[in-house]
């Protein structure tokens, strides 16, 4: 089995969505002073590669810890959406897609991660494409973008209202183009929260 890491590495001072709290990852104990090492993490839930559940934008009492683990291990399909803004969904490219699968949209925008334009100029899903995704009934939609849309986040709300989870800030989806047999693993922390940082990995049989 081959493992493909689809997650951004977390480091102190990394870029976060405009307006979010800063990400901090710093040593709090050192071997020299305390005879052991330890690090302190301070972060919001929407940093780097992370999952949104409906509570993020809707009146929904469920925390991410309330979702069954099988929601985070799914067969996946990658759709090539490079050089598109807005992003268009072509059903002819989705032969074999089944309800409940993970639909991953490859735009190539992850090459700009850490740059100001990553958050300001990213492509968005068109309303027509959102409707097509809803008709496909995926269990999860993943993007190599900070968000599939912008304020007022109508795409977010439409997907989450149908219990379709949203996986953001993926990287390296181009490695999966043409791969017809992989599973996506994106397990969140067991948090009573509206989202979670994840280590997203493609498992290729």
Pairing mode of beta strands 165-168, 140-143: parallel
pLDDT of residue 94: 87
Mean pLDDT over all residues of the chain? 96
pLDDT of residue 91: 81
Q: Do 126 and 91 meet the contact criterion of CB atoms below 8 Å apart?
A: no
Model confidence over 169-178: pLDDT tens digits?
A: 999 999 999 8
Q: Which residues pair with 29 in a beta bridge?
A: 38
For residue 203, pLDDT beyond 90: yes
For residue 36, pLDDT beyond 90: yes
Model confidence over 128-155: pLDDT tens digits?
A: 999 999 999 999 999 999 999 999 999 9
pTM: 0.96
Residues contacting 116, CB < 8 A, separation 6+: none
Average pLDDT over every residue of 30-45? 97
Average pLDDT over every residue of 1-28? 96
Residue whose C-alpha is closest to residue 6's, from 91, 83, 89, 76: 76
- Domains of the chain, start order: 2-8+45-204 (3.50.30.50)
CA 54 to CA 157: how far, in whole Å?
A: 8
Average pLDDT over every residue of 32-36? 97
Dihedral of CA atoms 179, 185, 186, 189 in degrees, nearest 10, equals -170
pLDDT of residue 71: 97
- DSSP codes, 119-140: HHS---B-HHHHHHHHHH--SE
Confidence of residue 193 (pLDDT cuts 50, 70, 90): very high
Confidence of residue 205 (pLDDT cuts 50, 70, 90): confident
DSSP 8-state code for residue 86? S
Model confidence over 71-100: pLDDT tens digits?
A: 999 999 999 999 999 999 988 888 899 999
């Amino acid at each position: 089995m081959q493992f493909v890491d689809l997650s951004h590495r977390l480091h102190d001072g990394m870029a976060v969505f405009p307006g979010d709290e800063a990400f901090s990852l710093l040593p709090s104990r050192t071997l020299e002073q305390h005879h052991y090492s330890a690090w302190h993490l301070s972060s919001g839930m929407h940093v780097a590669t992370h999952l949104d559940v409906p509570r993020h934008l809707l009146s929904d009492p469920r925390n991410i810890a309330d979702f069954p683990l099988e929601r985070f291990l799914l067969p996946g399909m990658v759709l090539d959406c490079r050089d598109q803004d807005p992003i268009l969904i072509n059903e002819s490219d989705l032969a074999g897609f089944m309800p409940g699968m993970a639909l991953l949209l490859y735009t190539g925008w992850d090459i700009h991660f850490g740059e100001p334009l990553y958050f300001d100029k990213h492509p968005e899903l068109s309303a027509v494409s959102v409707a097509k995704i809803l008709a496909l009934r995926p269990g999860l939609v993943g993007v190599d973008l900070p968000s599939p849309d912008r304020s007022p986040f109508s795409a977010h709300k439409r997907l989450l209202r149908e219990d379709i989870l949203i996986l953001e800030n993926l990287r390296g989806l181009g490695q999966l183009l043409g791969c017809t047999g992989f599973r996506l693993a994106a397990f969140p922390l067991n948090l009573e929260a509206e989202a979670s940082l994840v280590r997203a990995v493609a498992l290729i049989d």
